[in-house]
Amino acid sequence: MLEIRILHVHHMFSTPQGRWVVFEDLSLEIPAGSFTVIVGPSGCGKSTLLRIVAGLLRPTAGEVRLGACPPEEARARRWIGWMGQAPALLPWRTVEGNIRLALEVNGRWLQPALSVTELIELVGLRGFERAYPHMLSGGMQQRVALARTLAPGPRVWLMDEPFAALDALTREQLLEEVERIWQRFRATVLWVTHELHEAARLADEVVVLAGRPARIQTRFEIPDPRPRRDERRIGEWVHRMRQALAGGAS
């Protein structure tokens, strides 16, 4: 488990219309082993922030630390697991082969945290080891992507709306799977979503981003026990997020 510290981050893009400032002096600390969900309107910089934490973008100013390491070092050590909306599976590889891909580094094999067989069992794909991506549903493809993300045993999971393209029933099933797996490994999770119900289901803490440049509108803990099945309570947290996004009291 690693603490994530985002320290006075400033980031901007140059466009034909001029400079677009995404963040200005943004700071956020995420405790080790916690499940933090970032919500906010489209275009406010949620995914950009995730890419900065992953070391895929270098901030214009400020710094990010995962434990004592910058993101680039954490990535080199395979401490970061990334999962996006698209499963990005290689069509010529089987389920096993796509998961093994995460363990192949410059011709060397990493020692997996779990065996590929265990990972396939963990994400509920036993019996599909030799299936190719075109033979799988969208939800099953995302299960493969999840297993691939977990294969090196990352200490930090960075999840960029991983189930946004799935139907509601499949998404619900996968959210339950993710929560179960996270409770087993207790990695530090930073999860981006537009789905407020999803945030209320998963988060130890919700961070609401809004504005341009983006700022933290509010952040609050959700102390309710897991698994969360009380729709009334979930609705109360969703209402609080909506208020924050509308600029109301937190």
Domain count, the chain: 1
- CA 26 to CA 216: how far, in whole Å? 8
**Is position 179 within any domain?**
no
**Which of the four pLDDT bands, split at 50, 70 and 90, describes residue 250?**
very low
Say what percent of the chain tops pLDDT 90: 72
The verdict on residue 111 lying in a domain is: yes
Side-chain-side CA neighbours of residue 85 (13 Å): 9
Q: Is residue 96 part of a domain?
A: yes
Q: What is the pLDDT of residues 158-192, one digit of tens each?
A: 999 999 888 888 888 889 999 999 999 899 999 99
- The whole-angstrom separation of Cα 93 and Cα 8 is 42
Q: What confidence category does residue 49 fall into, taking pLDDT thresholds of 50, 70 and 90?
A: very high
Tens of pLDDT, residue by residue over 79-94, are 999 999 999 999 999 9
Give tens-digit pLDDT for 217-241. Answer: 999 999 999 999 899 999 999 999 9
Is there a domain that residue 115 lies in?
Answer: yes
Confidence of residue 19 (pLDDT cuts 50, 70, 90): confident
In-domain check, residue 75: no
Q: What is the reported pLDDT for 249? A: 45
d(CA 211, CA 216): 9
Tokens representing 41 are 């309107």
Q: What pLDDT is stored for residue 82 in this prediction? A: 95
Q: What is the pLDDT of residue 154?
A: 93
pLDDT score of 133 = 97
**In three state form, how does the secondary structure of the chain look?**
CCCEEEEEEEEEEEECCEEEEEEEEEEEEECCCCEEEEECCCCCCHHHHHHHHHCCCCCCEEEEEECCECHHHHHHCCCEEEECCCCCCCCCCCHHHHHHHCCEECCEECCCCCCHHHHHHHCCCCCCCCCCHHHCCHHHHHHHHHHHHHCCCCCEEEEECCCCCCCHHHHHHHHHHHHHHHHHHCCEEEEECCCHHHHHHHCCEEEEEECCCEEEEEEEECCCCCCCCCHHHHHHHHHHHHHHHCCCCC
**What pLDDT score does 112 carry?**
67
List pLDDT tens digits, range 107-134.
556 666 788 999 999 999 999 999 999 9
Residue 248 lies in a domain: no
pTM of the model: 0.92
Residue carrying the six token digits 């970032």: 38
Q: What does the mean pLDDT of the chain come to?
A: 91
* CA angle, 83 then 172 then 101, to 5°: 25
Residue 197 is assigned to a structural domain of this protein: no
- Asked, for residue 208, whether it belongs to a domain, the answer is no
Show the domain range for 134: 85-153
Q: Are 54 and 78 in contact (CB under 8 A)?
A: no
In the beta sheet, which residues pair with residue 215?
210
Percent of the chain with pLDDT over 70: 96
Q: How far apart are the first and last CA of the chain?
A: 29
Give the span between the Cα atoms of 67 and 30, in whole angstroms. 10
How crowded is the C-beta side of 203, counted as CA atoms within 13 Å? 28
